[in-house]
């Protein structure tokens, strides 16, 4: 079975964020992730990780002002993006995190898509270079356009082209099986086709973004595919529990 982690932005919503670390450890997780540590002091999160023997495996670069869904492709926010990279590095140092995710952002009718493309590639080169200085990996996550209309990088195929254009050895793909399926792609085929660039995997069932067994995806087959492909990284549960989180963990086998 894969190595499973808990996304604390989604799992254990019965608890305040800082109390979710203990809940995750009690459930048997050894690793956690979350989108945005920034509302909390890094020392507070570091203490929760330390007290519960947890590893923080991933968080996102700052995603911009309320209502924004990433700023990586936004030409008017380059300075903000660069500042966000520095802030993320500070948190990574405090939390011991070795992988950071970039949310690319959205475009609207009338935007200069060529300029947005140039901005995203340049920003990713900058971020990858800064993270490489401290041995941290950067990943880019495709997000489906049903949940986030206008998202600039909605598919793994699109992300692969961006990764190739950037050309940074520490840049890879964050493969969210939920987003892939929502875009009409077959998650197993995505795993196989992009095995060389996948650095992190997340999942939720489709539709609804709830736990395995609430939708149409065959998770026994998907987890077996992940093992067969030799992927040794983390596989994170990023779903909205349909009931108390502890009652949705039938798919999870804690490792010793």
Of 80, 141, 164, 211, which one is the catalytic site residue? 141
Rg (CA), the chain: 17
CA distances from 114 to 23, 102, 117, 141, 199 (A): 45, 19, 5, 20, 27
Residue count of the chain, please give it: 256
pLDDT value, residue 68: 87
Mean pLDDT over 186-202 rounds to: 98
Of 33, 137, 211, 238, which one is the catalytic site residue? 238
Per-residue model confidence as pLDDT tens digits over 89-108? 999 999 999 999 999 999 99
pLDDT-derived band of residue 254, with 50, 70 and 90 as boundaries?
A: confident
Per-residue model confidence as pLDDT tens digits over 7-64? 999 999 999 999 999 999 999 999 999 999 999 999 999 999 999 999 999 999 999 9
Asked if residue 122 lies in contact with residue 71, where contact means CB atoms within 8 angstroms, the answer is no
Q: What is the DSSP string of 145-194?
A: TTTSTTBS--SHHHHHHHHHHH--TTEEEEEEHHHHHHTT--HHHHHHHT
Per-residue model confidence as pLDDT tens digits over 56-85? 999 999 999 888 899 999 999 999 999 999
Write out the H or E segment, with its range, that includes residue 89: helix 78-95
3-248 topology per CATH: TIM Barrel (3.20.20)
Per-residue model confidence as pLDDT tens digits over 130-187? 999 999 999 999 999 999 999 999 999 999 999 999 999 999 999 999 999 999 999 9
pLDDT value, residue 67: 82
5 pairs with which residues across the strands?
A: 236
Share the mean pLDDT of the chain. 97
pLDDT value, residue 256: 59
Per-residue model confidence as pLDDT tens digits over 224-240? 999 999 999 999 999 99
Confidence (pTM): 0.97
Mean pLDDT over 199-204 rounds to: 98
φ/ψ of 105, rounded to 5, equals 105, 180
Please state the domain extents for the chain.
Answer: 3-248
Told to judge if 141 belongs to the known catalytic residues of this protein, a careful annotator would answer: yes
Sequence-ordered strand ranges (E) for the chain = 3-7, 31-33, 55-60, 99-102, 137-140, 171-176, 198-203, 234-237
| Contacts of the segment 24-27: beta carbons below 8 A, 24+ positions apart | 24/52, 24/54, 25/52, 25/53, 25/54, 27/245, 27/246, 27/249, 27/252, 27/254
Told to judge if 55 belongs to the known catalytic residues of this protein, a careful annotator would answer: no
């Amino acid at each position: 079975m894969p190595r499973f982690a808990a996304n604390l932005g989604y799992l254990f919503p019965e608890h305040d964020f800082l109390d979710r670390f203990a809940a995750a450890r009690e459930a048997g997780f050894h690793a956690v992730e979350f989108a945005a540590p920034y509302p909390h002091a890094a020392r507070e999160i570091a203490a929760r990780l330390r007290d519960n023997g947890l590893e923080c495996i991933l968080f996102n670069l700052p995603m911009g002002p309320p209502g924004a869904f990433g700023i990586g492709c936004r030409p008017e926010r380059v300075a903000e993006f660069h500042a966000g990279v520095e802030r993320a590095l500070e948190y990574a140092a405090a939390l011991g995190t070795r992988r950071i995710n970039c949310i690319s952002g959205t475009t609207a009718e009338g935007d200069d898509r060529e300029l947005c493309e140039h901005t995203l590639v340049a920003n990713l080169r900058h971020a990858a270079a800064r993270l490489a200085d401290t041995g941290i990996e950067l990943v880019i996550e495709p997000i489906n356009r049903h949940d986030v209309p206008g998202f600039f990088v909605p598919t793994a195929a699109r992300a692969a082209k961006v990764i190739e254009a950037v050309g940074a050895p520490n840049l890879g793909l964050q493969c969210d099986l939920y987003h892939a399926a929502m875009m009409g792609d077959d998650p197993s085929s995505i795993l196989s086709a992009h095995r060389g660039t996948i650095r992190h995997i997340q999942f939720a069932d489709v539709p609804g973004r709830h736990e395995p067994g609430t939708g149409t995806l065959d998770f026994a087959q998907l987890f077996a595919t992940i093992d067969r492909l030799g992927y040794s990284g983390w596989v994170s549960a990023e779903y909205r529990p349909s009931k108390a989180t502890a009652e949705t963990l039938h798919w999870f086998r804690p490792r010793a």
